[in-house]
Structure 1
Amino acid sequence: MINIIIVSEKMAKPKTLGVFESVGLVLALILVPIVLTLLFITPQQVIKSQGVKAMLPPHLRGAMLSTQNHLDAYAKQIGELQARILRLDAQNQRLSKLAGVKSTAEPINERTPVNDMMGRGGPLVKDSPLSEEDLKATIEQMSADLDLRDEYQGKLEAKLLQKSVLREMLPNSSPVEAAYSSSSYGWRIDPMSGHRAFHEGLDFPASVGTPVYAAADGIVTTAVQTADYGNLLKIDHGAGLETRYAHNSKLLVNPGDRVTKGQKIALIGSTGRSTGPHLHYEIRLNGNPLDPREYLKNHS
């Protein structure tokens, strides 16, 4: 047991402190010098610049730094999305002029950061930094804006191809006598992973064995089985145009074969990365996917 006796000339008799009072006094005598030492050891410039963080234990300072890095990553992503939107806007304006159509690209949303060169101003009232939820909402809105611009650019490319010297080569014939899933091209929730992913073609659900037809004249360049596409056919139509026919149960042509529009080239199946029998159909120009809907609807 610890007992502390205090003796003073002003006191009539010595005073004895209890256990809790004694422990409190001892802790105070130990901690006060430590705090004073930290104040003198920690550079004043660091305290001014970091405030309370300079006095925090390393693991707490690390947690605060991690949170800031997280927010910085969101801010960087917003900047990258903004740059992509501005580039797409400029490209779409040029393509609109070439296609002879009025630009109808969606304007940048009010919540989307705009070019720093644009003049803006006003008094600063109730200023506060964006929260993590604000940053996430901004990223989601900008991603949606970017998708609209991508879709619009695909429409412009289709118009240009319809007007170009390539129009006779365009694969504008339906590859199967079945309706396609209208929302299958573009961003969607992947049926297997459950994650948001870009689907580069159209899906035509149909029974196994349903005939698949060449969408245009061309030469078969690939007839192979792959993990993702299953039994895959690729047909070269010239000038960088290519069509792909995937998940087939059987291929009826071979590499090097010349095919004509409407020729039967395969049978629908569910091979490769597939949840059921259907044809996955793609149109590509110089390796880049095009929206097949824009060519099928222009077919007369």
Structure 2
Amino acid sequence: MQIILVSRHLKAARTITIMPRHVVAVLAVVLTLVFSASAIFSWLSVHFRLPLVEDLMLSLQRQESQKSRDYVSNNLQLMATRLGELQAQVLQLDALSERVANLSGIKREAPVARAKAGQGGPYLPAPMTESALQGEIERLMATVERKTDELAVLESRLLEKKVRDRLLPTTLPVKDATLGSPFGHRSDPIAGLRAMHEGIDFTAETGTPVVVAADGVVLSAEYHPDFGNVIDVDHGEGLSSRYAHLSRIDAKPGSLVKRGQLIGAIGTTGRSTGPHLHFEVRMFGVAQDPALFLKKGVEFAQVKRR
């Protein structure tokens, strides 16, 4: 870039050529002067404590301090809220664990009660610090995890108990029946000799519905010379039940049956002296007293006795 200077004092026009390096040099000198002036002013302000600068610096410090306090306060508030939520979760888990334990029949060890020593004195609030809050949160989180694991174990046991109860023959196979011969030794009704009765009898009119006492799979549904029309049901774990002397069979071998489902009707088929249901419960083929299972239900106590 060229600049032409014209003046009446000059005999001829003068031309000045400005190169890029001249512009860079001028900018460098200007920046140096600005930074130098700022540094000198800052030094003088700090050294002589000029009121304007000192007030400005104090204002900036107060703003930064307030920001820090607000940040810490917000964090503490969030941590305190989280702590309260965890404490509520622990209380809920305690109550839920107690209910599940009662439902599953699991006895839990009661905490040892210790007498507290006498205490007293004025109330002096002591807010928790950030590190104390963090420590309490971590402790409660560990407690929540431990109680969650305990609940998982209780849930598993409750499920096992529910399944086991569904498979136990506790439902009365005949409604509105009269209890006949119990389980055990008796005088055979036909031969008149001492014999073992491996079930219990329910006396009712022919055609009275017969239901299965628990969930299971029908093993057989056929005619037997002694039992007449008989149904055997497998309940799993070696447990089975038998329903004999039926007038009809309403179940097929291999079919799934649910507790209380109709499987037949009372009759007097086979070796029988009159209409009744002969009901057996066997464990791995060994006859058990059916009353021990039926008493676990609520219906057996209402059965009519002779």
- Decide which structure has the larger Cα Rg and report it: 2
Normalising by structure 2, what TM-score?
Answer: 0.43
Normalising by structure 1, what TM-score?
Answer: 0.44
